């Protein structure tokens, strides 16, 4: 059974803090994604990575960066957390060369920035 894990289910941080969200997949998937999910807006793509050390901006990359040093691990970094980054963050992995393949999601991290 495929598995994507995220480091925390719930996280509370202060404005200005640097925040690391970790995601690990055991599916040997090339592609990994970070989304945020907000009520009424659905999932919005922040960044994706199609290979180790490779990354591409999604629709809302501002205020975020990512790191992929190993194939199984994809980290999302909030350089200086702000209250408008309070959200549910979902990591996903997918095989194949395009977004037409099934994405497998982790359980999500609910981040609150105070």
Partner 1 sequence: RKEVEQDPGPFNVPEGATVAFNCTYSNSASQSFFWYRQDCRKEPKLLMSVYSSGNEDGRFTAQLNRASQYISLLIRDSKLSDSATYLCVMATGGFKTIFGAGTRLFVKA
SS3 105: strand
Based on the shown chain and the rule CB under 8 A, indicate whether residue 53 belongs to the binding site for partner 1.
Answer: no
Number of residues that bind partner 1 (CB under 8 A): 22
Cα separation, 14 vs 60, whole angstroms = 21
| 76 HSE (CA, 13 A, CB side) | 32
Nearer of residues 40 and 53 to partner 1, judged by Cβ:
40
Based on the shown chain and the rule CB under 8 A, indicate whether residue 103 belongs to the binding site for partner 1.
Answer: yes
**Selection from 84, 58, 101, 74 nearest residue 4 by Cα:** 74
In degrees rounded to 5, what are phi and psi of residue 61? -80, -10
Nearer of residues 2 and 114 to partner 1, judged by Cβ:
2
Tell me, residue by residue from 79 to 98, as one string, x for binding to partner 1 by CB under 8 A and - for no binding. -----------x-------x
User: Which one of residues 80, 99, 112, 114 is an interface residue with partner 1 (CB under 8 A)?
Assistant: 99
In degrees rounded to 5, what are phi and psi of residue 46? -95, -55
Cβ 17 vs Cβ 81: under 8 Å: yes
Based on the shown chain and the rule CB under 8 A, indicate whether residue 54 belongs to the binding site for partner 1.
Answer: no
The residue ranges that bind partner 1 (CB under 8 A) are 31, 33, 35, 40-45, 48, 50, 56, 90, 98-100, 102-103, 105-108
């Amino acid at each position: 059974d495929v598995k994507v894990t995220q480091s925390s289910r719930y996280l509370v941080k202060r404005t200005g803090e640097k925040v690391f969200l970790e995601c690990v997949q055991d599916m040997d998937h090339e592609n990994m994604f970070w989304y945020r999910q907000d009520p009424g807006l659905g999932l919005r793509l922040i960044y994706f990575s199609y290979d180790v050390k490779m990354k591409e901006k999604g629709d809302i990359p501002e205020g975020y960066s990512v790191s992929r040093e190993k194939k199984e691990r994809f980290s999302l970094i909030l350089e200086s957390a702000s209250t408008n980054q309070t959200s549910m963050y979902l990591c996903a992995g997918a095989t194949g060369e395009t977004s037409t393949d099934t994405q497998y999601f982790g359980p999500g991290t609910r981040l609150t920035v105070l």
